[in-house]
Amino acid sequence: MALKDSLTADMKAVMKEGQKTKLSVLRLLQTAIQYEEIEKNRELNDEEILGVIAREIKQRQDAIPDYERANREEAVKRLREEIEYLQTYLPRQMTDDEIRDLALQVIEETGAQGPGDIGKVMKAIIPRTKGRADGRVVNNLVRQILESK
């Protein structure tokens, strides 16, 4: 079943169960997917939909510190629940150890010698981690490895 069909089926199930928070999240996600499809003037494939889901998660993660500073604990709790629910649609995330192992492999493949080669390494590693690791985490680990060389 395509991811888009799965989202639609989940939306119907959540409607029947009366889970308003999940329904709201799925509706917002469907809207984000539709905007992306309109922008690209075609239907999105599963990989592109995963990118939209990851972007929605990132937007919520970025909003949490603002709500925490404003002492809006209920909003923070809601955002965390939404993030947790959206993450069920993403592939399993890579651990730091897995990212580090992949980074060492890519550094060896690219022949990177130090921090000046971070762009070369990132260009090679990002396609391999897409959707399975946060780019900031990957960048930090690659930077640490290259600085220790």
Give residue limits of the domains in the chain: 3-87, 96-147
Tell me the whole-structure pTM to 2 decimals. Answer: 0.75
pLDDT band at 115 (very low <50, low <70, confident <90, very high): confident
pLDDT band at 112 (very low <50, low <70, confident <90, very high): confident
The more confidently predicted of residues 149 and 98 is 98
36-58 pLDDT, tens per residue? 999 999 999 998 999 899 899 99
Structure tokens at 130: 């897409």
67-81 pLDDT, tens per residue? 999 999 999 999 999
Mean pLDDT of the 22-28 span: 95
In the chain the first and final C-alpha atoms are separated, in Å, by 46
C-alpha–C-alpha distance, residues 26 and 103, integer Å? 34
The CATH number of the structural domain formed by 3-87 is: 1.10.1510.10
**pLDDT(136) > 80:** yes
Give residue 32's identity as a one-letter amino acid code: A
SS3 42: coil
Which letter does DSSP use for residue 2 in this model?
Answer: -
C-alpha–C-alpha distance, residues 47 and 54, integer Å? 11
Residues 6+ apart with CB under 8 A from 73: none
Residue 103 near residue 138, CB atoms below 8 Å: yes
pLDDT at 1: 65
C-alpha–C-alpha distance, residues 61 and 123, integer Å? 25
Nearest residue to 130 via CA among 59, 51, 32: 51
Architecture field, domain 96-147: Orthogonal Bundle (1.10)
Q: Give backbone dihedrals phi and psi of 45, rounded to 5 degrees, phi first.
A: -85, 175
